[in-house]
Amino acid sequence: MLRTDYGNLVRRVLPDAKITDFWSRIQHVEQMPRRLADAAAMELLELTGELIRRRSVTPDDAGCQELIAALLAESRFSTEALRFGDVRNLWARRGDAAPVVVFAGHTDVVPSGPPGEWLSDPFTATVADGRLVARGAADMKASVAAMTKACQRFAATHPEHPGSIAVLLTSDEEGPAVDGTARVMELLDRRGELFDYCVVGEPSSSERLGDTVRIGRRGSLSGLMTIKGELSHVAYPLRSENPIHALARFVKAMTAEPVDAGNAHFPPTTFQVVNVSCDAGAPNVVGADLNCRFNLRYNTEWTRDTLARHIESMLDALGVNYELQWRVAGEPFLTAAGRLTDAVVRAVREETGVDAELSTGGGTSDGRYIAPYGIEVVEIGPVNATIHKVNEEVLVADIAALERIYFRIAELLLLE
Ligand SMILES: [Zn+2]
């Protein structure tokens, strides 16, 4: 992934801004006069760097939202800091009328891991070889900077725009996600302030910016299971079944064939065991209870309840003596083809020349808290190959392209 001459090319974007010449080599903004484009692109890059410099390891926002709120307030957004527990959220809206187009995202990042394994400080935006390397580069501070700048440019270009444009940010997407987007949505619902279209800036792209747009996500259901046994000497006939053998039968049954066949929009449901423990502490003892955790990423063929009942009846049929608690991390959702998907596909094609594939793959996102209100939700953001890894990166040119995509989406939804 990384070139051998990487180290020689490393230059820090901030606080000095000596990358203008670098930038001018990779900039392709035909619509604006060259110098204006350079200045706007530099501002966008600097904002990305400012966000990265704030060590907002989840659930800490570290001042990111204050910075964004100040910029949006300059563009006459009314901004509201919403704090629930340790979590900071920002709701900023410009306009009172419908329809409301919302750009959503998160300011928190996952921990950097060992800083020594990074090529440069993970909390300093470092540009090398056309890539910006830092924790949160792709997930998702570049997107947050791009949507902020797109909203500002939209307000400046169309000051009397119809409808409303808004930004929803949380600092609790990478963590438990309890006091973040879910709580803001409850509040907006109570106030009768729900919106129509939502563009989430999650890194959706696979190989090129815009090649993949997420229009839904699978649900995530975890089972925390205890299989009951009895502490026994390994050499004598057991009075109750060895719980490890019981687990083996369950896993075999679950993996013998696909859980379902999937459907037009979703792949088949998947089953994975993620943790098992059953250790009596000596080599001649069979443990009493086995604890395990498994996860199902499930499609719209199921609800959490129908899927849980399906698994329980399978365990019953296998004669497993179990106790089971369920944890749902998100129901599946799907945004049908319509105005929003049309606008996103068109904006991506106009700005990058790429034909976006509409997909429902990947992990969960905060879209799961927004879609249940009947809001059209899509996710469009940078290439996700390095997210949550050491040396997370985003192409510098993609940050500018993303700003243009977001700007164009807002135009297509509110002005056409
Ligand atoms: Zn993310």
Asked if 231 and 105 sit in the same domain, the reply is no
Calpha distance 354→350 (Å, rounded): 8
281 Cα–ligand 1 center, Å: 40
Asked if 286 and 406 sit in the same domain, the reply is no
Is position 202 annotated as part of the catalytic site? no
pLDDT of 31: 40
**Residue 390 lies inside a defined structural domain of this protein:** yes
CB atoms within 10 A of CB 415: 12
Phi, psi (degrees; rounded to nearest 5) at 134 = 180, 160
Picking from 330, 348, 375, the residue at the C-terminal end of a domain is: 330
Asked if 213 and 223 sit in the same domain, the reply is no
What CATH number does residue 262 fall under?
Answer: 3.30.70.360
pLDDT of 39: 84
174 Cα–ligand 1 center, Å: 7
Tokens of 282: 């000596």
How many domains, in total, are found in the chain?
2
Asked if 33 and 65 sit in the same domain, the reply is yes
111 Cα–ligand 1 center, Å: 13
Burial of residue 46 (number of CB atoms within 10 Å: 0-12, 13-18, 19+): middle
pLDDT of 235: 86
173 Cα–ligand 1 center, Å: 7
108 Cα–ligand 1 center, Å: 8
**Residue 24 lies inside a defined structural domain of this protein:** yes
Q: Which helix (H) or strand (E) holds 262?
A: none
Could you list the residue range(s) of the whole structural domain that residue 190 is in? 6-217+332-415
How far from the centroid of its chain's Cα atoms is residue 185's Cα? 17
pLDDT of 416: 87
Calpha distance 161→239 (Å, rounded): 75
349 Cα–ligand 1 center, Å: 23
Burial of residue 343 (number of CB atoms within 10 Å: 0-12, 13-18, 19+): buried
Asked if 205 and 240 sit in the same domain, the reply is no
Is position 60 annotated as part of the catalytic site? no
Calpha distance 101→372 (Å, rounded): 17
**Residue 1 lies inside a defined structural domain of this protein:** no
Contacts of 91 (CB under 8 A, 6+ apart): 79, 80, 82, 166, 167, 168, 184, 188
Asked if 202 and 54 sit in the same domain, the reply is yes
Asked if 156 and 199 sit in the same domain, the reply is yes
pLDDT of 129: 85
pLDDT of 363: 75
168 Cα–ligand 1 center, Å: 14
Asked if 241 and 323 sit in the same domain, the reply is yes
Tokens of 27: 């900039």
Picking from 282, 301, 330, the residue at the C-terminal end of a domain is: 330
pTM over 0.75, yes/no: yes
**Residue 93 lies inside a defined structural domain of this protein:** yes
Choice among 60, 61, 173, 366 that is catalytic: 173
Asked if 223 and 189 sit in the same domain, the reply is no
Asked if 320 and 338 sit in the same domain, the reply is no
Picking from 330, 357, 391, the residue at the C-terminal end of a domain is: 330
Query: pLDDT by residue for the chain (416 residues), tens digit each?
Result: 233 233 333 344 433 433 444 444 443 334 444 566 678 888 999 999 999 999 999 999 999 999 999 999 999 999 999 999 999 999 999 999 999 999 999 999 999 999 999 999 999 998 888 899 999 999 999 999 999 999 999 999 999 999 999 999 999 998 888 899 999 999 999 999 999 999 999 999 999 999 999 999 899 999 999 999 888 888 888 888 899 999 999 999 999 999 999 998 899 999 999 999 998 888 889 888 999 999 999 999 999 999 999 999 999 999 999 999 999 988 899 999 999 999 999 999 999 999 999 999 877 789 999 999 999 999 999 999 999 999 999 999 999 999 999 999 999 999 98
Choice among 50, 60, 61, 108 that is catalytic: 108
What CATH number does residue 21 fall under?
Answer: 3.40.630.10
Asked if 208 and 59 sit in the same domain, the reply is yes
Q: Which residue do the tokens 């089953």 mark?
A: 271
**Residue 245 lies inside a defined structural domain of this protein:** yes
210 Cα–ligand 1 center, Å: 16
Asked if 350 and 373 sit in the same domain, the reply is yes
Tokens of 375: 């809001």
**AA letter at 226:** T
